[in-house]
Amino acid sequence: MQPSSPPVTSSIDAARFRLFIDSVKDYALYILSPEGFVNSWNAGAQRFKGYTADEILGQHFSRFYTEEDRASNLPFRALQIALEEGKFEDEGWRVRKDGSRFWASVVIDPIRDQEGTLLGFAKITRDITERKQAAEALHGSEEQFRLLVQSVTDYAIYMLSSDGIITNWNTGAQRIKGFSRDDVVGTHFSRFYTEEDRNTGLPMTALKIASTEGRFEGEGWRIRKDGSRFWAHVIIDPIKNELGELIAYAKITRDITEKRQAAENLRRAQEALFQSQKLEAIGQLTGGIAHDFNNLLSVIISGIGILAQEIQTPTSAKILEGMERATTQGADLTRQLLTFARKQPLKQDKYNLNHIINSFEVVLHQAQTGSVIFDIKLDPRLPPAMVDASKFEAALLNLVVNARDAMPEGGTITLSTEKVEVYQNNIDGLPAGCYAKVTIRDTGTGMPPDVAKRATEPFYTTKEVGKGTGMGLSQVYGTIKQFGGELIIETEVGKGTAISLFLPAQEGDANEELASKSEGQ
């Protein structure tokens, strides 16, 4: 048999406990009768609710509840729950003496004697209005931020877990990438990267840089839901808790494809302008020099002719013959320079370029060697163009010879024609419209980018000394520019070169004279 428990407190202890309860000001601590009438009242209760002990003792505690709560019988239900479950805990609005409201945290415990008889209820109330307001302000701020993020359509803004799993998704992300929230939440963000970037581990590298350096920023291709690509500007920031532990990442992505394209177009336009200005300056210089030099050569050639009639010795005849050959070569060079400078007079007419090529095919075949295959593919729909037939033939021969020289071990030269539509800004230097396109393509050594950029400059050559003047391609360039067209070089080292001549298409009938001459031979 266990000894009976000693009294909980002595009368002195009870007085001290009562003094302690009365001195508490941050909590309303008071006792209710089994029916809910107030039997005690402390300083905290008076401070919160505004009633003195004389005003409230003997009153029912339901008077502190709002009218709505009393109508729903909440005070009675609170006591019932405390009896049945041993405790009632809740938060809600309560009413002060002056009628104002405060948000209360309430705990009600039943009080029983040793036999289990209900003696009443202990009620603890705390005013947590400020805490509620702070929580509501935080919730409101979070809600505003959520609405802000969701309303942004120009940026994909979303969160990643610490291992890269997508945890939320905004409207901008859906617009840019095409995936809905249900498509992506719970999947790994690497799905947006190209296969090449995934193979190199770029997604996880980006997260690692963000976590170690505090930020990752970069640009690159990303994949939409439909498989198309867009150029993205990406920022990844790590999110850490108060202990500095990584808990997530914030990721912001922007589609800057148009911006990149505009920058690329501007760069290409600037390069084209620079190249055009450079060639124009060279053309002005060479044109002036060639014109003056040609005048001097005319005097020399005339003098040689007179001397050849007066001097009859074998030795002097050989000397004069050598001088005449040299001046003739000099005259050819000046003609090439004048052609590049676009100061050579032309005899332009409207021709079907296919007919010119057919009539000149025999000469073109003679320019090839036994190890080179020559193939011609002509578009029967090719529109006529305004050209000087002889200058156009010379340009073709130049290009075929260059193609042959680029294939020392043999290969294939293909001469093709095609009717093409050029759209605005599609090809640098060409306005939109219909063109007759002539292409000479080889399977030779190709050119590196730095060589291709200078290929149309006069005297620029990669051939050995004595094997080329560097005027061939520049002469072709000058000729085509005089025709109002454009010369485009496409080349890659080890894969050959394609040089395309774009000539503005003309309406009406073409001059068939060359074709009829060719057929009559």
pLDDT in tens, 44-56: 888 888 899 889 9
pLDDT at 8 > cutoff 60: no
Q: Which of 430, 442, 436, 443 is nearest to 379 (CA)?
A: 436
Asked if pLDDT for residue 435 goes beyond 90, the answer is yes
Q: Max alpha carbon distance in the chain (Å)?
A: 160
Which of 107-111, 159-163, 170-174 has the least mean pLDDT? Answer: 170-174
CA distance 500 to 489: 7
Domains annotated for the chain, with CATH where assigned, are 11-128 (3.30.450.20), 152-255 (3.30.450.20), 261-340 (1.10.287), 349-520 (3.30.565.10)
Contact 357, 378 (CB under 8 A): yes
Which residues, in sequence order, are bridge partners of residue 110? Answer: 121
Examine the pLDDT at 385 and tell me if it is beyond 70: yes
User: DSSP per residue over 354-407, as a string?
Assistant: HHHHHHHHHHHHHTS-TTEEEEEE--TTPPPEEE-HHHHHHHHHHHHHHHHHT-
Statement: residue 11 has pLDDT above 60: no
CA distances for 342 relative to 201, 242, 293, 417, 458, angstroms: 55, 74, 16, 24, 13
The answer to pTM > 0.85 is: no
Q: Decide which of 370 and 150 is more confident.
A: 370
Spell out the long-range contacts of 470-476 with Cβ–Cβ below 8 A and sequence spacing 24 or more: 471/333, 471/336, 471/337, 471/340, 472/398, 472/401, 472/402, 473/398, 473/399, 473/402, 473/499, 474/336, 474/340, 475/336, 475/339, 475/340, 475/394, 475/395, 475/398, 476/395, 476/398, 476/399, 476/501
Q: Using pLDDT thresholds of 50, 70 and 90, give the confidence band for residue 468.
A: very low
The Cβ-side half-sphere exposure at 190, using a 13 Å CA radius, reads 16
Closest by CA to 234, choosing from 212, 249, 246, 216, is: 216
